[in-house]
């Protein structure tokens, strides 16, 4: 005897009674006059497969109406981080719509959205967007020879246990830099080892591990110990440009006084502009290099950082420095917002 197939609407009623009202299998069977085993099968299928219907048959009409599609798009636009499973649950709770995760995911893709890692970009204030634009317009037409004379410097923090903190978001291709889809970051958050380093077009300079709290006096000592040896190592002339960002330690009175008497030219990057300092990519490469083996403790981390730093090639740093005109042009294009760099 052929078993009569349960309609989709009755299966949706079962899911609503169980999910929204918390009814047991037995209670649902009594309320709907449907066999308890059938009730259990419908609920289990929804839990583990995310669907209430049977597998699609040829020519089967779509269970997703225009209203449902609009509801899915509104949810994804409002919350780019929402999962397909969460969308299905919200539709069920708010609209009484039983829909599978796969159907939700399929329609999100039809909207032209894909799941991407949320890019980490600094939260740039309006005043700093203006400063970034001014800086970009001032230097965008400087020739490649100028950038080869720049010594790029920065500090970076590395953790014993690395974590990339990636978050998936639904977004259209090419919209990765839209502030809506980026994760805002703050500098030097969390524990680990803080280092100072420098690089130029023709390679990396010294890497200095920073012990204790870094202030303007520690910064000056770092420059005293590492600036000269780095310039000599890189074969840079005395007519070089010293680049740094606007960190308070860098702009403190004593730091400015030291740089005034010890550097011929200064290139001050605007605040919140890691994309305008190519050494940031060297930090990312360094992070990948040290994660190739397990790091046991702080001393091990320091040693691995120093060993990996000297393996960064001149070709790599040269390509980074050569990208400066493109970086500046993109800042102008993005009207001061974060770029893809």
Q: Strand (E) positions, the chain?
A: 114-117, 119-122, 150-158, 168-171, 182-185, 193-200, 203-210, 241-244, 265-268
Q: 278-308, pLDDT tens digit by residue?
A: 999 999 999 999 988 878 889 999 999 999 9
Helix residue ranges per DSSP H, the chain? 8-19, 25-32, 36-49, 66-78, 84-95, 101-110, 126-139, 144-147, 216-234, 248-251, 253-262, 279-290, 298-309, 314-322, 324-333
Whether 22 has a pLDDT exceeding 50, the answer reads yes
Q: 128-142, pLDDT tens digit by residue?
A: 999 999 999 999 999
C-beta of residue 254 within 8 angstroms of C-beta of residue 216? yes
pLDDT at 179: 65
Which three-class secondary structure state does DSSP give residue 168? strand
Q: 143-201, pLDDT tens digit by residue?
A: 999 999 999 999 999 988 754 445 566 677 776 667 665 654 444 433 479 999 999 99
Per the prediction, the chain carries an average pLDDT of: 85
pLDDT at 170: 64
C-beta of residue 76 within 8 angstroms of C-beta of residue 113? yes
Taking the domains of the chain in order of start, what are their residue ranges?
A: 8-49, 66-111, 126-171+178-334
Pair of tokens at residue 126:
């309006």
pLDDT at 101: 80
Per-residue pLDDT band for 16 (boundaries 50, 70, 90) equals confident
C-beta of residue 267 within 8 angstroms of C-beta of residue 241? yes
Alpha-carbon torsion, ordered 86, 87, 91, 92, to 10 deg: -30
Name the residue among 44, 33, 47 with its Cα closest to residue 4.
33
pLDDT at 167: 52
Write out the H or E segment, with its range, that includes residue 308. Answer: helix 298-309
d(CA 126, CA 55): 52
Q: How far is CA 13 from CA 8, 10, 29, 36, 103, in A?
A: 9, 5, 11, 14, 19
Record the pTM.
Answer: 0.61
Pair of tokens at residue 56:
């699609």
Higher pLDDT, 242 or 37: 242
d(CA 42, CA 36): 10
Q: How far is CA 229 from CA 159, 224, 334, in A?
A: 27, 9, 38
Pair of tokens at residue 279:
């050494």
Dihedral (CA of 20, 22, 28, 31) sign: negative
Architecture of domain 126-171+178-334 in this structure: 2-Layer Sandwich (3.30)
| Straight-line distance from the first to the last Cα atom of the chain, in angstroms, rounded to the nearest whole number | 66
The owner of tokens 């953790």 is: 159
Q: Strands 203-210 and 193-200, how do they pair?
A: antiparallel
pLDDT at 185: 47
Q: 51-68, pLDDT tens digit by residue?
A: 777 665 554 445 567 777
d(CA 125, CA 196): 26
Average pLDDT over residues 75-89: 79
Beta pairing partners, 265: 241
pLDDT at 57: 53
Per-residue pLDDT band for 86 (boundaries 50, 70, 90) equals confident
Phi, psi of 156 (to 5 degrees): -150, 150
């Amino acid at each position: 005897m052929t078993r009569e197939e349960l309609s989709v609407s009755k299966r949706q009623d079962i899911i609503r009674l169980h999910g929204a009202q918390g009814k047991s299998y037995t209670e649902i069977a009594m309320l709907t006059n449907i066999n308890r085993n059938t009730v259990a099968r419908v609920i289990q299928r929804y839990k583990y497969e995310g669907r209430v219907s049977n597998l699609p048959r040829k020519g089967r009409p779509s269970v997703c109406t225009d209203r449902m599609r609009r509801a899915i798009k509104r949810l994804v636009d409002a919350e780019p981080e929402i999962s397909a499973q969460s969308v299905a649950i919200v539709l069920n709770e708010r609209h009484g719509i039983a829909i599978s995760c796969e159907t939700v995911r399929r329609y999100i893709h039809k909207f032209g959205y894909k799941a991407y890692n949320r890019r980490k970009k600094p939260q740039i204030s309006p005043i700093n967007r203006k400063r970034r634009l001014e800086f970009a317009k001032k230097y965008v037409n400087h020739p490649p020879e100028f950038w080869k004379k720049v010594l790029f410097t920065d500090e970076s923090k590395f953790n014993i246990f690395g974590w990339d903190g990636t978050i998936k978001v639904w977004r259209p291709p090419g919209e990765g830099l839209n502030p809506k889809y980026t994760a805002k970051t703050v500098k030097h958050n969390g524990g680990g080892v803080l280092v100072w380093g420098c690089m130029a077009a023709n390679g990396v300079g010294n890497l200095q591990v920073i012990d204790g709290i870094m202030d303007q006096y520690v910064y000056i000592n770092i420059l005293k110990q590492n600036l000269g040896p780095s310039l000599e190592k890189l074969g840079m002339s005395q007519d070089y440009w010293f680049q740094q960002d606007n960190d308070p330690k860098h702009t403190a009175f004593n730091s400015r006084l030291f740089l005034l008497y010890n550097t011929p030219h200064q290139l001050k990057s605007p605040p919140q502009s890691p994309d305008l300092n190519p050494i940031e990519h060297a930090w990312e490469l360094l992070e990948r290099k040290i994660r190739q083996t397990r790091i046991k403790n702080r001393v091990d981390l320091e040693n691995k950082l120093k060993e990996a730093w000297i393996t960064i090639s001149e070709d790599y740093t040269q390509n980074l420095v050569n990208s400066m005109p493109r970086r500046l042009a993109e800042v102008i294009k993005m009207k001061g917002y974060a770029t893809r760099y």
